[in-house]
Every structure is written in C-alpha cells, then in structure tokens.
C-alpha cells in the first residue's frame, strides 16, 4: 500500500513539473543561437570589424580617440585602414564572456557596457590576465561561428544584462538596450579585418 502511495505521489509531482510553462524570460539570444565565437583568433594581434548584421557597411567606430581613451562608440561606413574601426577580442571564463579592445588608442581600452552608450574602460592588462572589469565583458551568442568570423551575434553586457544596440541609420550611437532576440539593430557580425 505504501509503495503504491509513493508511486502515485511521484506521478503527481511529475505531472505538475511537466505542466509548468517554459521560461521565456531569456531575451538576449538569437532565435537560432548555435555558438559562441571562441574559435576566433584572440589577443592583441587580432583585428576585427564589428558590423551591423542588417547594415553590413556600418561598423563600430571609436569616437573622440586619444592615446589612452575614446569617448563613445558610433556606427560609421567601413573604411579598411581606420584603426578606430578595428577591435581585438579577448575571451574570459573559458570563453563565456569576451572583451572588445579598440585599436584606436595606443593603450588597451575596452568597450564599456555600464548603461547608456558604450564608452571607455581602461583595461591595460586585458591580454595577460584571467579577467577584466565586468562592465568591459560581454556574453556573445551567435547564429554561425568560424575561425575568421561570427555572424548574427548579440552582445549582452555582463555588468548590466542589456544588449548592444542602435536605433536606426540616423541615430547610430551604440548603446545598451533591453535585449530582444528579434531586434535587427541588436545583431552583429564579427568579421576579420
């Protein structure tokens, strides 16, 4: 009798668990998320364009660049020889998160995602340490990944939980916004320079 009671209770619990709705609150993953870009060349020698998936001629550009800083990140037409448009990538935590290091300043300066427009985070030791500031790290999920590029990626700030986005072709400052996996302005391609 006790064995039959345990069986009925276990079956009842399983039906309750099976009836719970799926968690749909995770919004910062592309609908066809298949990879993280850990196969890309990383470190100071890497150079990538970060381009809009929907507008591939528009790439991240560090603005107001000095030797030790930049003011913010904007989108600009791709130019092949512009250091302010080139970014090195460094992975952390077994490639769970990544930092973007601008090739514009002469010192290591990372993109900073601490709310609003992406700006500067000094990250001098980014290439020879096991971590950097949380606001200078992003979780990256992509639709395709390779050794020279990754496409259809969303960049979620490890510090803020929001995703890198821009409003439209007229308002191109790259900023953090609530993550939406269907927003075309939140999808990025990482392309070898």
What pLDDT shows up at residue 181?
73
pLDDT, the chain, mean: 83
- Cβ neighbours for 72, distance < 8 A, ≥ 6 positions apart: 63, 64, 117, 118, 119, 173, 174
Higher pLDDT, 182 or 70: 70
Average the pLDDT over 158-179 and give the result.
Answer: 89
What pLDDT shows up at residue 32?
54
Higher pLDDT, 8 or 154: 154
What pLDDT shows up at residue 62?
96
The model carries a pTM of 0.79
7-65 pLDDT, tens digit per residue, is 443 444 333 333 333 333 334 444 555 899 989 999 999 999 999 998 889 999 999 99
State in Å, rounded, how far the first CA of the chain is from the last one.
Answer: 71
C-alpha span between 133 and 48 (Å, rounded): 21
Residue 131's pLDDT band, with cuts at 50, 70 and 90, is: confident
Burial of 187 (0-12, 13-18, 19+ CB in 10 A): buried
- Cβ neighbours for 171, distance < 8 A, ≥ 6 positions apart: none
Task: Give the rounded percent of residues in the chain with a pLDDT score beyond 90.
Answer: 61
What pLDDT shows up at residue 33?
57
What pLDDT shows up at residue 96?
84
What pLDDT shows up at residue 129?
84
Task: Confirm if 35 and 133 have CB atoms less than 8 A apart.
Answer: no
Beta strand segments in the chain, E: 48-52, 58-63, 72-77, 87-92, 97-102, 109-112, 119-122, 138-141, 144-145, 149-157, 163-165, 175-177, 188-192
Average the pLDDT over 140-169 and give the result.
Answer: 92
C-alpha span between 185 and 154 (Å, rounded): 10
In this structure, what DSSP letter does residue 127 have? G
Ordered by where they begin, the domains of the chain are 27-192 (2.80.10.50)
Q: Which long-range contacts (CB under 8 A, 24 or more apart) does 101-106 make?
A: 101/44, 101/126, 101/127, 102/62, 102/65, 102/70, 103/47, 104/62, 104/65, 104/70, 105/62, 105/65, 105/66, 105/67, 105/68, 105/69, 105/70, 106/67, 106/68
Is 117 a residue whose pLDDT tops 60?
yes
Alpha carbon distances (Å) from 139 to 16, 39, 54, 96, 105: 33, 15, 20, 6, 24
Task: Give the rounded percent of residues in the chain with a pLDDT score beyond 70.
Answer: 83
Higher pLDDT, 172 or 24: 172
What pLDDT shows up at residue 80?
78
């Amino acid at each position: 009798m006790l064995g039959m009671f345990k069986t009925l209770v276990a079956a009842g619990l399983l039906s309750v668990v099976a009836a719970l709705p799926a968690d749909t609150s995770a919004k910062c993953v592309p609908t066809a998320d298949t990879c993280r870009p850990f196969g890309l060349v990383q470190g100071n020698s890497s150079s990538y364009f970060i381009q809009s998936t929907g507008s591939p001629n528009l790439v991240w550009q560090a603005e107001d660049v000095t030797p030790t800083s930049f003011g913010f990140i904007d989108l600009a037409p791709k130019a092949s020889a512009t250091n302010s448009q080139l970014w090195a990538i460094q992975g952390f935590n077994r490639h769970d998160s990544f930092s973007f290091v601008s090739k514009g300043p002469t010192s290591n300066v990372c993109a900073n995602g601490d709310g609003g427009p992406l700006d500067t985070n000094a990250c001098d030791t980014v290439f020879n340490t096991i971590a950097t500031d949380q606001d200078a790290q992003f979780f990256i999920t992509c639709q395709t990944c390779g050794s020279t590029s990754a496409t259809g990626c969303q960049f979620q700030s490890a510090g803020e939980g929001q995703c890198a986005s821009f409003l439209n072709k007229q308002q191109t400052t790259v900023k953090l916004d609530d993550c939406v996996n269907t927003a075309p302005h939140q999808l990025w391609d990482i392309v070898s320079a």
